[in-house]
Structure 1
Amino acid sequence: MNSLLTPTPFPNCSSFAVIAQSDSVTFEMCDNFQKQTYRNRFHIYGANGKLQLNIPVIYSQKNRTLYKDIKIFNTEKWQTNHWKSFESAYKTSPFFEFYEDELKPLYSKTFENLMDFNLASIQVICECLQLDLKTSKTTRFEKEIDTKTDYRFLAERNSKGFDLAPYHQVFAEKHGYINNLSILDLLFNEGPNALIYLESQQLPHAPT
């Protein structure tokens, strides 16, 4: 399967199931940025349930801006806040300490561009999963595409992703299983088994 995806920070498990089951992935680089989508946010499982983490960006609705040109608003200490949230949510998970050294560089380096951070986060996760991913990037925007399976909808605001099989989650006894969180949740809870899990999920056909 050759898939088309919109890069997001630490993509949700549905997106990574697509990545794991694809022969190649093309990343959409030529669309416009849209607020309140997964392009600059992701969800983890906190002590109080589903927790949204945002990457603050410099954006004005008056002028359309290409997603790849969006800058991060680094005056906010978002990296510090994210890491504190990771530690609070996953310090007791089976594999947080196993992977934290691979993830820390993303939170000690200053990223000016949102797309750069998002692509770097995907690369680091692939390294953690030991997944050899063949990728390419779009050079122009196409609304309709018939040469690849279009999964760009997974990055949109109202996308709930796919119904995936439950796996162990730290706070499940309190709040139950939460579907389609960031790949970080799966990685910290399942460790090396995460790739096997992703490859075993049944993916519905992308909508046409």
Structure 2
Amino acid sequence: MKLLLHPTYLPNIATFAAIAQQEVVWEAHDNFQKQTYRNRCYICTDKGKHMLNIPIKHVGGDEGRQKYADVLMDNSYPWKKQHWRTLETAYRTSPFFEFYEDDIRPLFEGKEASLFEFNLKAVEIIGDCLGVPLASERTGKYELSPKDLVDTRFLVEAKKEKKPDLESYPQVFEERHGFIPNLSILDLLFNEGTNTLTYLKEQSLDFLHD
């Protein structure tokens, strides 16, 4: 059974575990909602859990009715440069940052405007690092209760997300802040490197069916 997922910004570990273990169909016809993982992710810096947020261009006054696939990133603000600088500062001492740096950096140098397509490109680049191909199938229309798909679109929720039971791994600032679970996949990649895919495939996906 295939999973129905939203493309999210530098997906969290629970979402990428699902991508690594199951076939995925991308939801391409939903409305954009603020305060979700569509345009934010979390990493760990020397100050603890830190949010990276992509600024977007809102159309008209009815922001909630904008289609996710139509949302444009606000590139008048140098957020890509800022996000990369933050990632570099946070992870430069991690074991595998330099190993993947040249693969990840181009994501923050392009001129993409579409948030949806940018997020898919990020998943593709990270997937290439892991040897996980990007799923190409997208929905043809929005369905509240999709047939023949496991609806895991709830993973996009940042405010009321479920707490998946994920194994711990060494983190750069663990001695200072303790282990912080379910950060962006980049936290796992920069800390675990070539062991990342093995880690993802060993995680339980029980949280998808709660």
The one-letter code sitting in structure 1 at the alignment partner of 2:11 is: P
The residue number in structure 2 matching 1:34 is 33
Identity, % of aligned positions:
47
Choose 82-91 or 61-70, whichever is displaced more: 61-70
The residue number in structure 2 matching 1:19 is 19
Q: 1:82 to 1:5 in 2, by over 3 A?
A: same
Structure 1 runs (4+) deviating above 4 angstroms are: none
Choose 138-147 or 115-124, whichever is displaced more: 138-147
Where do residues 135-174 of structure 1 align in structure 2 (5 Å cutoff)? 135-157=136-158, 158-174=160-176
Query: Residue 19 of structure 1 aligns to a residue in which SS?
Result: helix
Alpha-carbon separation, structure 2, partners of 1:156 and 1:5: 11
Q: Gaps spanning 5+ residues in structure 1: where? A: none
Cα distance, 1:134 vs structure 2: 3.9
Judge conservation of contact 1:14–1:161 (CA < 8 Å) in 2.
no
Find the partner of 1:202 among 196, 201, 204. 204
The residue number in structure 2 matching 1:189 is 191
Q: 1:134 to 1:34 in 2, by over 3 A?
A: closer
Cα distance, 1:162 vs structure 2: 1.1
Cα distance, 1:145 vs structure 2: 1.9
Alpha-carbon separation, structure 1, partners of 2:133 and 2:106: 20
Q: Gaps spanning 5+ residues in structure 2: where? A: none
Alpha-carbon separation, structure 1, partners of 2:134 and 2:31: 25
Alpha-carbon separation, structure 2, partners of 1:115 and 1:131: 19
Query: Residue 101 of structure 1 aligns to a residue in which SS?
Result: helix
The residue number in structure 2 matching 1:58 is 57
Alpha-carbon separation, structure 2, partners of 1:8 and 1:161: 17
Judge conservation of contact 1:154–1:161 (CA < 8 Å) in 2.
no
Cα distance, 1:146 vs structure 2: 3.4
Alpha-carbon separation, structure 1, partners of 2:110 and 2:184: 21
TM-score (norm 1): 0.95
The residue number in structure 1 matching 2:44 is 45
Cα distance, 1:47 vs structure 2: 0.5
The residue number in structure 2 matching 1:3 is 3
